[in-house]
């Protein structure tokens, strides 16, 4: 299968580690692309903004609860949250009132099951970095404890990091684990197919899968979208939101000028010179929420028609083999993004959904907003913007020097989380700590130029502090 000695070495390493054939096939095709110089970039000149999308509120469809018995809800849980300084699954991070993401997700599913008297199937995609902690934590919920590996978990693959100079698999003397990486959430398809779980789901009568990020607690089962998918016989739906200023990292929807097909451009796929266009939220107005709906038999058919894989554009991340040693071997980590599969299906569509379905936590800025009163918990355990915010999240910019990582953030809010319900923008520069009962309103700019940590005493603040 491999076309070069470097590719053959990767293939041998993966086989020896028991990686599935589906994953090896996908990886080798990405390896070939990267070895021949592909960057996976999508130039602005090759796309046009996506237009004429349907809005969920305007779609006329009758809800069909009977579809629930053939539907699976799957949460992506393979990421570690290293960007926030975490070395565990990000979903173990406390969100609100002592509950972490996994608690919210579990309660959402249990609520829905009760509400619809259904046994809605639930799965989690874990990586080799998140499976142990996640299993242990979720075991407090009886219903997810039994047959965890068989029924709940989809364990994603691992792929070798490759040397930038030779494209050979990289080795790391410090720890063999550093030589491997989960291949991004686009691995969902290879993990489902290669583990045999796709076949088993289809054989058991499952037809639809709703997938979303575990850090987005607005993404719950929606009977209108599900029923619309069935009524229009769609293979794939991407939920998108109208972009706001906070939507910088991630991907936007666009249309390929050459084929007219919808495509997803991830920030990692944008050439440097086109970054201004990427960030232009009035030009590229629709942001991928990563809430996706997949018709399982169509997925299987698309993979079988293409050598057992989906040809997703490869994303090439430049890193060092030992993440904590910048002088170690320079490597590429190859990844794919789940949403780029929108181009792989004949009958794919994107729907604009209300902002309530998208409340991601990518940074401590997001976490501060979520923990504050700008977000409320609904009866069905979603975290949504408080109504008075009219769909606009506060724009929070905490000083990266102190609050990029959760440890610093915890000190900031140790005594209390400020009220942000009436705050439009918050900028914090320097080291500060909020006392209990701090209320921030309008545009607030907190600056501490001294090196000592300063307290923000209880009270209401606006403007420069």
SS3 46: helix
Burial of 405 (0-12, 13-18, 19+ CB in 10 A): middle
Is 185 a binding residue for ligand UPG by CB under 6 A? The answer is yes
Q: Which is nearer to ligand UPG, 322 or 363 (CB)?
A: 363
DSSP state of 216: B
**Is 152 near ligand UPG (CB under 6 A)?**
no
96 marked ligand binding residue: no
Residue 121, marked binder? no
Tell whether residue 263 is a contact of ligand UPG (CB under 6 A): no
Minimum Å distance from CB 60 to ligand UPG?
A: 28
| 8 Å CB contact between 30 and 334 | yes
Residues 364-423 interacting with ligand UPG (rule: CB under 6 A): none
CA distances to 101, 133, 178 from 137, in Å: 11, 6, 25
Q: Please, are residues 124 and 79 in contact by the beta-carbon 8 Å criterion? A: no
Site residues for ligand UPG, 333-352, by CB under 6 A, read 337, 339
Q: What is the C-alpha to C-alpha distance for residues 424 and 374, in angstroms, rounded to an integer? A: 10
Q: Which stretch binds ligand UPG (CB under 6 A): 72-80, 273-281, 344-352, 449-457?
A: 72-80
287 binds ligand UPG (CB under 6 A): yes
Radius of gyration of the chain (CA): 22
The answer to whether 424 touches 397, Cβ cutoff 8 Å, is no
Catalytic residues: 362
Query: Which two tokens mark 175?
Result: 């720890």
Q: Give residues with Cβ within 8 angstroms of 401, minimum separation 6.
A: none
* Helix or strand holding residue 319 (H, E): strand 315-320
Give dist(CA 175, CA 170) in Å, integer.
12
* Contact status: 214 vs ligand UPG (CB under 6 A): yes
362 counts as binding ligand UPG under rule CB under 6 A: yes
Among 40, 160, 182, 393, binds ligand UPG (CB under 6 A): 182
Residue 362 assigned to a binding site: yes
Kindly indicate which of the ranges 53-61, 247-255, 424-432, 456-464 contains the residues binding ligand UPG, using the contact rule CB under 6 A: 247-255
* By CB under 6 A, residue 329 contacts ligand UPG: no
Residue 215 binds to ligand UPG (criterion: CB under 6 A): yes
User: Where on the chain is the footprint of ligand UPG (CB under 6 A)?
Assistant: 76-79, 90, 125, 127, 156, 182, 184-185, 187, 213-215, 249-251, 264, 266, 287-290, 337, 339, 360, 362
């Amino acid at each position: 299968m491999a076309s070069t000695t470097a590719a053959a070495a990767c293939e041998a390493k993966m086989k020896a580690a028991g990686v599935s054939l589906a994953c090896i096939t996908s990886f080798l095709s990405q390896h070939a692309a990267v070895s021949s110089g592909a960057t996976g970039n999508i130039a602005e000149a090759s796309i046009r903004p996506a237009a004429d999308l349907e809005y969920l509120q305007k779609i006329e469809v009758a809800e069909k609860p009977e579809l629930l018995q053939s539907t699976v809800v799957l949460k992506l849980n393979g990421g570690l949250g290293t960007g926030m300084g975490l070395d565990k699954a990000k979903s173990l991070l406390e969100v609100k009132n002592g509950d972490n993401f996994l608690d919210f997700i579990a309660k959402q599913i249990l609520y829905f099951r009760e509400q619809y008297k259904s046994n809605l199937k639930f799965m989690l995609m874990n990586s080799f970095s998140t499976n142990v902690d996640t299993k242990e934590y979720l075991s407090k919920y009886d219903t997810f404890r039994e047959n965890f590996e068989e029924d709940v978990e989809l364990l994603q693959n691992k792929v070798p990091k490759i040397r930038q100079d030779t494209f050979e698999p990289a080795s790391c003397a410090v720890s063999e684990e550093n030589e491997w990486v989960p291949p991004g959430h686009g691995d969902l398809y290879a993990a489902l197919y290669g583990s045999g779980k796709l076949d088993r789901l289809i054989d058991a009568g499952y037809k639809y899968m709703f997938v979303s990020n575990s850090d987005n607690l607005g993404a719950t089962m929606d009977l209108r979208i599900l029923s619309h998918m069935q009524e229009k016989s769609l293979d794939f739906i991407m939920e998108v939101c109208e972009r706001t200023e906070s939507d910088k990292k991630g991907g936007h929807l666009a249309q390929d000028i050459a084929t007219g097909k919808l495509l997803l451009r991830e920030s990692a796929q944008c050439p440097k010179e086109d970054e201004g266009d990427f960030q232009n939220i009035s030009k590229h107005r629709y942001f991928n929420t990563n809430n996706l709906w997949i018709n399982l038999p169509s997925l299987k058919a698309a993979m079988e028609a293409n050598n057992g894989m989906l040809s997703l554009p490869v994303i090439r991340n430049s890193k060092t083999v030992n993440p904590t040693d910048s002088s170690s071997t320079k490597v590429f980590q190859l990844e794919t993004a789940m949403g780029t599969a929108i181009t792989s299906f004949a009958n794919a569509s994107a729907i604009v959904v209300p902002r309530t379905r998208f409340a991601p936590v990518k940074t401590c800025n997001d976490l501060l907003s979520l923990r504050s009163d700008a977000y409320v918990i609904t009866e069905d355990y979603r975290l949504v913007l408080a109504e008075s915010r009219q769909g606009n999240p506060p724009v929070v910019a905490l000083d990266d020097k102190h609050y990029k990582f959760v440890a610093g953030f915890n000190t900031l809010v140790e005594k209390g989380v400020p009220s942000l319900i009436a705050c439009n923008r918050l900028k914090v520069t320097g080291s500060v700590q909020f006392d209990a009962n701090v209320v921030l309103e309008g545009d607030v700019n907190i600056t501490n130029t001294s090196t000592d940590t300063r307290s923000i005493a209880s009270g209401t603040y606006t403007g420069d502090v």
